[in-house]
Amino acid sequence: MRPLLALFFSAIFAAPAFASEVSNTDAAAGLKEALTRGAEVAVSQLGKHDGFMGDSRVKIPLPDSIRKGEKLMRTLGGGKYADELIETMNRAAESAVVEARPILVNAVKHMSFDDARGILTGGDDAATRYFQRTTTDELTKKFLPIVKQATAKVKLADKYNQYAGKAAKLGAIDQKDADLDQYVTHKALDGLFLMVAEQEKAIRKDPVSTGSNLLKKIFGH
């Protein structure tokens, strides 16, 4: 079954009579309202206590380079340091993700009609890809200082950066994971866009459930 949003958009352009009742402007505005609400829900879910830490889908694990030795670390009594780092990373992500709300909302606000049409007629993750394309750089700049402030309090973070930096130069780990703050920021963004994608899926499945009066008007026909 084709998504309701795509069916609706096709109907607007294929049926002038219907289009006269529901304008292209209404369609785009309805989409923007739904996406704004979806983005706000995603941020609210992740920005609360245990938003990352308590959700296995987005919980940030130790970087691979540390995880490989995690069992030995715990055997040798270093478990508390590993647990402290895991909690710190996830609490940092929970604090940082709150900053995403105005950035995502602004991206929706400045969405062009062509962008809206592309989202409505695109794949199931078209809106998520739009957010990734238009907000990743700004989100990274917002998240990174918050993450740095949190990880600076953890001794293991410095040790990781020293070790991982050398490992990256040797090609043992990905460069993006060579700095703990960059790693946490990257994972926080992954978690955010995963939740945005889930909200997009829900909107496409049942647009009216978003509570948007415009979408109720549109799909009430």
Show me where the domains of the chain are located.
Answer: 4-206
Q: What does the angle CA 14 – CA 24 – CA 102 come to, to the nearest 5 degrees?
A: 140
Give every CB contact of residue 17 below 8 A, 6+ residues apart in sequence. Answer: none
What is the C-alpha separation between 148 and 154, in angstroms, rounded? 10
Whether the pTM exceeds 0.85: the reply is: no
pLDDT at 8: 46
Most confident of 36-40, 43-47, 62-66, 206-210: 43-47
Please report which confidence band the pLDDT of residue 154 belongs to, taking 50, 70 and 90 as the band edges: confident
Q: What does the angle CA 196 – CA 97 – CA 118 come to, to the nearest 5 degrees?
A: 30
202 within 8 A of 209, measured Cβ to Cβ: yes
The secondary element (H helix, E strand) that includes residue 93 is helix 79-97
The secondary element (H helix, E strand) that includes residue 121 is helix 113-121
51 within 8 A of 45, measured Cβ to Cβ: yes
Q: Name which of 3-7, 47-51, 92-96, 143-147 the model is least confident about.
A: 3-7
**In terms of Cα–Cα distance, which of 70, 101, 72 is closest to 85?**
70
pLDDT at 9: 46
Percent of the chain with pLDDT over 70: 67
pLDDT at 17 over 70: no
What is the C-alpha separation between 90 and 42, in angstroms, rounded? 16
pLDDT digits (tens, 9 = 90+) for 175-195: 666 678 889 999 999 999 999
Residue 180, Ramachandran bin (φ over 0: left; ψ between -120 and 50: alpha; else beta): alpha
Coil, strand, or helix at residue 55?
coil
